[in-house]
Amino acid sequence: MTSQCFHCNEEIPSGIKLFVTINNTAKIMCCVGCQAVAQTIVDNGLTQYYAVRTEPAHKSQALVPEQLQKHKLLDEAVLQSEFVFQGDSQDKESKEAILSIDGMSCAACAWLIEMKLGKLPGLLSINVNATTQRATVKWRDSAIKLSAILLAIDNVGYQALPFKANDAELSNNKQSKDFIKRLGISGILMMQIMMISFGLYFGAFTDMTEHNKVYFRWVNFILATPIIFYAAWPFYIGAIKALKAKRLSMDVPVSIAIILAYFASAWATITQQGEVYFESVAMFTFLLLIGKFLEFRARAHAAQVSANLLKLMPMTATKVLSLNDNKLSDNVDLDTPSKETHHKEVLVAAKQLLKGDIVIIKPGEVVPADGVITSGVSQLNEAMLSGEQLPISKTINDRVFAGTLNGDGNITVQVQQATSQSFLSQLIRLSEQSQAHKPKIAQLSDKIAQYFIALILLTSIATAIYWQQHLPEEAFWITLSVLVATCPCALSLATPTGLTCATTRLNRAGIMIKGGHVMETMPKINCFAFDKTGTLTTGEFTIHLVELIDNDASITGSNYSQAQVLAIAAALEAHSEHPIAKPFAEHRDYSLTAKQVKVHSGQGVSGIIDNIDYAIGKRSWLEKNAVLDHSHTPSFNGTRCLLMANKKIIAAFYLIDKVRDEAFATISSLNKDNKTLLLSGDGQLACDNLAQTLPLNIVLGGLSAQDKMQQIKYAQEQGFNVAMIGDGVNDSPVFGAAHISIAMGCGADITKSGADVILLNNKLSSINTLIEVSRRTRRIIFQNYLWAFGYNAMVLPLAVAGYITPYMAVIGMSASSILVISNSLRILKQ
């Protein structure tokens, strides 16, 4: 009996005995090509591929390079479902992913990758965050594959793989251990070199024999070699990558300084002529590594929050299966005994969950996917999303989010989103995008840094020529100091560290930044426009009063009771997502079905029920085509919507909405330095009533979405920079007109929302937090640039003049970078 290849399902040729251990079981392979690909899948932790694939893999060729094989695996749709996000409504063919990049040493590496890959056809955008060492790439799949993008990054000299929290942590740990090894070796050998050098210095005053001097120099030469060719190796790699790409990075002058000092000393040792600088180059490399290590630790600290968010996702989930046909049940009730419902519970990998699956979440467990509760009541802690530590009560039909913690109740949830498309995954992806955004000042500094490095090299050459003529014995030292002291590391770190820390700080407070320009634009905002319903108010309406308006049965077809008009209104409002529609849900009569329903944004809903044309909405919209008794006086000063049948107003519904607790304090605080507007689609009377409670500057009601846009443009024409705050449901067109758009709540689909900022905690007071953090971030970034430019402007002439030794140069350069990072980390401590 012939066996088949586990990878491609082809028959195993006679005499072939090739195996790969997959999930602790040896699987037979037909050729070395399939063996190599299968082993690559195992090595990268992608064995789940074999569990979920729907057809055998293609026959692999042994001659395909291993790296290319590994990248091509990631083009598989099954694997991409775990980390690739589909494009938006404007470009459905596009794809987006977050990549972890290994081998980056400074901000210039990020700039280099962006410049080289930006020329690839089909690559829509690439943003590299030097602080988190991650890249957000967006591409058109028909023009370029992900494997080609990864290979292009390899060709630049870096390694990229899909970002996973655990992998990122392992990579950071590996990099940290590598740093410690290099530091340990360079530190131990440097101490030996320094002790021998002291002997040489002391010998200069005690007439040490030439034989002993030569011996000590050779010992130092041998001890310094591992430092130069192992400990300092990352600097050379960074310099080679930059030069191969025809660019300059901070590693270039550092590498030149180390190599020049070492080989000049080696030549002096071999020829027994001239001075040696082994102690200098050893100390120099050791101090540089300390600076790099401290910088790495600071960057890792700033980047750990988003990685920790992904680690909140559970590995497994309790899935409910039908015992009859092994298919998922659509309706599971935990209160019914299992022997009657014929269901069983199985433990599956959380990332395998699909839309429509039913899962049971027990007390203390983490929610494995976004979904809706179908049975049970519990309290969930959503602090990781909103920053609010108090648990939130959830019951049937309430939404739950992946990564949140279940309290003391058993709940059954129907999955609404696959794990890769969960709200938490989107939150991390959008945060990465905003962190990778480069303000204009950062783009300018990147260009300046390139020219500045070229200036350093030219200045070093000129310095060497000058001092060789005037003071030859000091020329080398001075040139070395110029090369090192003026490296613009701090200049390139000034913005990315500040933005990363600011985004992290806001995420902790339940504020998610989606637009990259927010941190740059927010400090300039001086006008805040608010929607009313769901923004200044809670949006949780209750029907306070139903008023039947006298109608002629010959026109409307019948006289209506209060229960009838409520049922008709509920049938229409079931198609709307506006907060006003929610209180009608409890009056829904499922025997009434609305047909040809149209939702008129910001106006109301129309449709046909039992061959009668109905519409429900605001008076200003309905009265254009309806028969309305203008002598009718409203009986209640609240939010009012009217119901029309065959162009005749038949009922009025009066709703009340609670003002948010923090609304007064927030508006009062904003009024100190800004203009505040209320732009609402509700009636002017309801808006005026709200204005008696809140100190708004201008109150405008009865506005359509177009009217709101005109008001925002009018304010902009007057010189105001406008931020629009709304609930994100009917405000998308208005959001586009504002300089910054802010949406309330995490219930909306953020991938379709046009908001730049989402207040996940639903607190208006978060606006003040956003203003404070953005202004503080601007100040800190400005301080970073001030220090970076000031330091280089001060140290360059001093180094050229010979007043700075190589030791001072190394300490100054490292301290400058660490100071910039530490200054940015202050944002996290607010």
388, 416, 444 - which closes a domain: 416
720 falls in which pLDDT band (50, 70, 90)? very high
Quick one: angle between helices 440-470 and 107-117, nearest 10? 120
Indicate if 400 and 437 belong to the same structural domain. Answer: no
Q: Which of 419, 313, 289 minimizes the C-alpha distance to 366?
A: 313
List, in sequence order, every residue forming a beta bridge with 740; answer none if it has no partner.
723
CA 684 to chain centre: 40
Please state, in angstroms and rounded to a whole number, the distance separating the CA atoms of residues 268 and 749. Answer: 69
Indicate if 28 and 90 belong to the same structural domain. Answer: no
Asked whether residue 339 is domain-assigned, the answer is yes
Please state, in angstroms and rounded to a whole number, the distance separating the CA atoms of residues 377 and 394. Answer: 6
pTM (2 d.p.): 0.57
Asked whether residue 64 is domain-assigned, the answer is yes
Please state, in angstroms and rounded to a whole number, the distance separating the CA atoms of residues 629 and 107. Answer: 69
Contacts of residue 466, Cβ cutoff 8 Å, sequence gap at least 6: none
Indicate if 400 and 530 belong to the same structural domain. Answer: no
Indicate if 181 and 298 belong to the same structural domain. Answer: yes
* pLDDT tens digits, one per residue of 499-553: 778 877 887 788 877 776 788 889 999 999 998 877 888 777 788 888 888 655 5
List the structure tokens of 638: 């609240």
pLDDT score recorded for residue 222 = 92
Asked whether residue 13 is domain-assigned, the answer is no
Q: Which of 93-97, 432-436, 685-689 has the lowest mean pLDDT?
A: 432-436
Asked whether residue 12 is domain-assigned, the answer is no
Quick one: angle between helices 165-203 and 210-226, nearest 10? 180
pLDDT score recorded for residue 667 = 93
Q: What is residue 361's three-state secondary structure?
A: strand
Dihedral angle over CA of 617, 622, 628, 633, nearest 10: 40
Indicate if 37 and 94 belong to the same structural domain. Answer: no
64 falls in which pLDDT band (50, 70, 90)? very low
- Please report where in the chains the tokens 């939404």 appear, as a residue: 399
Q: What is residue 606's three-state secondary structure?
A: strand
List the structure tokens of 607: 């449709």
Region of 770 (left: φ > 0; alpha: ψ -120 to 50; beta: rest) is: alpha
* pLDDT tens digits, one per residue of 606-640: 999 988 889 998 877 887 766 655 545 555 555 67
* pLDDT tens digits, one per residue of 191-222: 888 888 777 766 555 567 778 788 888 998 99
Indicate if 693 and 724 belong to the same structural domain. Answer: yes
134, 163, 192 - which closes a domain: 163
Indicate if 340 and 329 belong to the same structural domain. Answer: yes
Please state, in angstroms and rounded to a whole number, the distance separating the CA atoms of residues 108 and 493. Answer: 9
Per DSSP, 823 falls in state: H
**94 and 132 in contact (C-beta within 8 Å)?**
no
Indicate if 635 and 681 belong to the same structural domain. Answer: no
657 pLDDT higher than 90:
no
Indicate if 520 and 552 belong to the same structural domain. Answer: no
Give the domain CATH number at 629. 3.40.1110.10
**41 and 47 in contact (C-beta within 8 Å)?**
yes
311 falls in which pLDDT band (50, 70, 90)? low
Indicate if 550 and 576 belong to the same structural domain. Answer: yes
**336 and 375 in contact (C-beta within 8 Å)?**
no
Indicate if 701 and 584 belong to the same structural domain. Answer: no
pLDDT score recorded for residue 335 = 43
Please state, in angstroms and rounded to a whole number, the distance separating the CA atoms of residues 311 and 536. Answer: 35
* pLDDT tens digits, one per residue of 2-35: 578 887 788 887 777 888 888 888 888 887 777 7
Asked whether residue 401 is domain-assigned, the answer is yes
List the structure tokens of 622: 């309905």
Asked whether residue 11 is domain-assigned, the answer is no
163, 195, 228 - which closes a domain: 163
* Residue 231 burial by Cβ neighbours in a 10 Å radius (0-12, 13-18, 19+): buried
757 falls in which pLDDT band (50, 70, 90)? confident
Please state, in angstroms and rounded to a whole number, the distance separating the CA atoms of residues 818 and 299. Answer: 10
Please state, in angstroms and rounded to a whole number, the distance separating the CA atoms of residues 303 and 291. Answer: 18
Please state, in angstroms and rounded to a whole number, the distance separating the CA atoms of residues 40 and 52. Answer: 17
**578 and 730 in contact (C-beta within 8 Å)?**
yes
Please state, in angstroms and rounded to a whole number, the distance separating the CA atoms of residues 576 and 745. Answer: 18
Mean pLDDT computed over every residue of the chain: 77
CA distance to 22, 81, 411, 427, 675, per residue, from 720 (Å): 63, 44, 49, 30, 9
Number of compact structural domains in the chain: 7
Please state, in angstroms and rounded to a whole number, the distance separating the CA atoms of residues 354 and 417. Answer: 7
Which amino acid is it at 47? T
Indicate if 284 and 410 belong to the same structural domain. Answer: no
Please state, in angstroms and rounded to a whole number, the distance separating the CA atoms of residues 769 and 509. Answer: 8
Please state, in angstroms and rounded to a whole number, the distance separating the CA atoms of residues 771 and 157. Answer: 40
User: Do you know the residue count of the chain?
Assistant: 830
Asked whether residue 275 is domain-assigned, the answer is yes
Asked whether residue 73 is domain-assigned, the answer is no
Domain extent at residue 390 = 320-365+371-416
**679 and 727 in contact (C-beta within 8 Å)?**
no
Rounded mean pLDDT, 278-284? 77
